[in-house]
Amino acid sequence: MRNASRTRFNIGVQHLEPLIVRLRQCFETFPDKRRGMNTTYSIADIAMAAFSVFFMQSPSFLAYQRHLQEGHGRSNCEGLFGISKIPSDNHIRDMLDPADPALWYPMFPAVLAELAQSNGLSPFRRLGNHVLIALDGSGYFCSNKISCAHCSTRLRGKGKGKDTGKIEYFHAMLGATLVAPGHNQVVPLEPEFISPQDGAEKQDCETRAMQRWLAMHGAQYARLNPIYLGDDLHSRQPTCEAVLATRGNFLFVCKPDSHPLIQEYITGIELPSHAVPVKRGRKRFTYRYRWLSDVPLRDGDDALKVNWLEIEIHDADGNVTYRNSFITDLPVSRDNVAELAACGRARWKIENETFNTLKTGGYHLEHNYGHGKQNLAAMLVTLNLLAFAFHTVCDHGTLATSQIEGQFTGAVLQSSGGDHQLPDLPVVGRSRADLGLPSTATATALISRRRSTLRSACRSQSPHERAKCQNENCW
């Protein structure tokens, strides 16, 4: 199976290569504050070196690569990312600090375009031809000492103690992620940073950030037929109207306590309902749904009419183990209420499979790679999100190829009745010669890194466990 393994890896690399080319082109447009002869490192190499830290998920990656380059005259930075000279960490921070994070934003639609070419957006389609975009806020920096002009502030500590009344500086963002119920991959999109706005007397907040995100990015994603998911904070008329203005749809959590008018409408009347028995392992549950159409979202003649739905999950004893309700502008009926509720519940994926992965899954979102005086913290977070998105593209390419190989293997074994060595599968997609990067060197570097990781994992095992390892790449 050596040839099949190599082919899977090469296909993952092929999906990565056009994105690396596009990323470098994006970096070349960055403003360069240097003047005169002080241009040892190109601005594209500087930005690409910063990206490589997050792509390889190692804060010490640059130091390691410099050591490698000094010893062998060539580094993986050159093979993987086309970096001719590796700048110092401090030089990277100094050069990226003045740049606007929005300069990275064209790369997020490029990621979706690359996924679409390989049918990678199909698993995200729900409710016909819609995609789900979940939006939620998250912090990524906090300090009592370090601050910049873009820091938000809050007073920490109550009562007695040495920390009472101290000002805490922090950075936060509104994240946007492509999600789908029952699908284990997510695709991060452009963030909107929650930071002090020019001319504003009050501090920025998640609600204002969401309205800015929709105004800036909503039009370009309208072609995907999006449904925007959000928590109860966003189930207010201004946000709902902002979604509709971008030709999108909304499916927001609607808590009873924050929507008393809707509770008045559904109290005391018999609502349409639907019950579905579900078996999970040995346990049995009943999913019960209720809904009501054309409910005013608030008081007043200008109130937006929405459709309300609720899901309750009962265990075998009749106890309610889960309850939630949502509002949407989409029609609700017996035929689609279950799928609507499943899509609304998929909102948690931005917390668990995006923010939690970024913070605990090797991306070190809350690690202080550098704060800077202007935009450095936001720049590095955006690069981290891009690295996550690039990994999703590579994972999809590898997964799709594995599925093709599985079908091919089954066909071969069924027709022959015996075991056979799989031939090389054709590598589909763009021509590497048109991309301007040495694909052979790139593939070799990535394969070498993968095998090195496998060897390290095996060597950490006991002799008995190593003897049982059948992975050919380990030895």
Ranges in the chain, pLDDT < 70: 1-14, 36, 38, 59-76, 157-165, 199-201, 397-475
Q: According to the model, what pLDDT value does residue 445 have?
A: 46
Task: For the chain, give the percent of residues with pLDDT over 70.
Answer: 73
Q: Give one DSSP letter per residue of 119-143, joined into a string.
A: TTTGGGEETTTEEEEEEEEEEEEEE
Query: Whose structure tokens read 């997510």?
Result: 186
Q: According to the model, what pLDDT value does residue 443 have?
A: 42
pTM over the 0.75 mark:
yes
pLDDT tens-digit profile of 266-288?
Answer: 998 999 999 999 998 999 999 99
In the chain the domains, ranked by start, together with CATH numbers, are 2-101+371-464 (no CATH), 127-360 (3.90.350.10)
pLDDT tens-digit profile of 78-96?
Answer: 777 888 888 888 888 899 9
Q: According to the model, what pLDDT value does residue 129 have?
A: 93
d(CA 259, CA 337): 20
Query: Whose structure tokens read 């002869």?
Result: 37
Residues 171, 148: contact at Cβ < 8 Å? no
The CA–CA distances, whole Å, from 149 to 92, 169, 172 equal 20, 10, 14
The CA–CA distances, whole Å, from 332 to 126, 154, 325, 339, 461 equal 15, 42, 13, 10, 54
Closest CA to 141 of 151, 149, 126: 151
